[in-house]
Homo-oligomer: A and B are copies of this chain.
């Protein structure tokens, strides 16, 4: 079982507050009070369903600030008894999330790399281990870290537009998906599909992603919200306690593995990302992106 203090601690850090501040018995304050620079959080208390909508243009990249806000928002929902399920989607057209923010990994200090990577881990530990029902409504492309967010949910619905693609394409950039990205991927698509897709750094158009189970369902964009609501209702029909224990049983081995190797994983990331060859290729990649925009 989980070493004492580790996952509980990471799930409920004292600084973020465990319980709503209202006196017990009073109705909870409206949820809009949350900080929401980069993520809009709405809670429908009667349904028990929250929506986290990424609104960090141009591409919802996962910066340190974004990740911190994500964790705080998810934590607050997790501790709010009025919330039983979360829908994760994007407010930016055509993109779900472009994944980790490369500027956080380029030309920064060792301390910064450590802080950033810890935030990436934290995001995954909280989302993959969430007690709530989590549904990804993937309404745009979702490479790398964006794909990880989708993979970490309980269910993935994607807009059927073949221009939208999804995958762990790290190898294309000359970097390597960490073992827990890989474990999460294998749990969804199996070992063979994961091996091939990770080595090729494939970005799969929505129909292909659906064919091998990377996403559970495809819908036309205009049906996404309706379908997501229906799926959430189906999952919320189950008694929370049994569903949560079952989810934990399925995901615990993989969660525990990162918890047990968390510091080592941070050190690995730092020494990899600090290499001059890696820095150089990230700089070239950023230049390319800038030219594309300009």
Complex Cα distance, B245 from A170, in Å, reads: 11
Partner of A199, one of B177, B186, B195, B243: B243
Complex Cα distance, B175 from A246, in Å, reads: 9
As a 0/1 sequence over residues 175 to 204 of chain A, the CB contacts with chain B under 8 angstroms (1 = contact) are 111010010001111111011101111000
As a 0/1 sequence over residues 211 to 223 of chain A, the CB contacts with chain B under 8 angstroms (1 = contact) are 0010010000000
Which B residue's beta carbon lies closest to that of A235? B200
Given contacts A154-B199, A199-B247, A250-B194, contact A170 B213 (CB under 8 A): no
B191 touches A242 (CB 8 A): no
Given contacts A187-B191, A187-B192, A196-B155, contact A175 B242 (CB under 8 A): yes
Complex Cα distance, B154 from A182, in Å, reads: 17
Complex Cα distance, B216 from A87, in Å, reads: 35
For A186, the chain B residues whose CB sits under 8 A away are 191
For A174, the chain B residues whose CB sits under 8 A away are 239, 241-242
A242 touches B176 (CB 8 A): yes
For A199, the chain B residues whose CB sits under 8 A away are 154, 235, 238, 243, 246-247, 250
Which B residue's beta carbon lies closest to that of A239? B174
A191 touches B190 (CB 8 A): yes
Partner of A242, one of B171, B187, B196, B238: B171
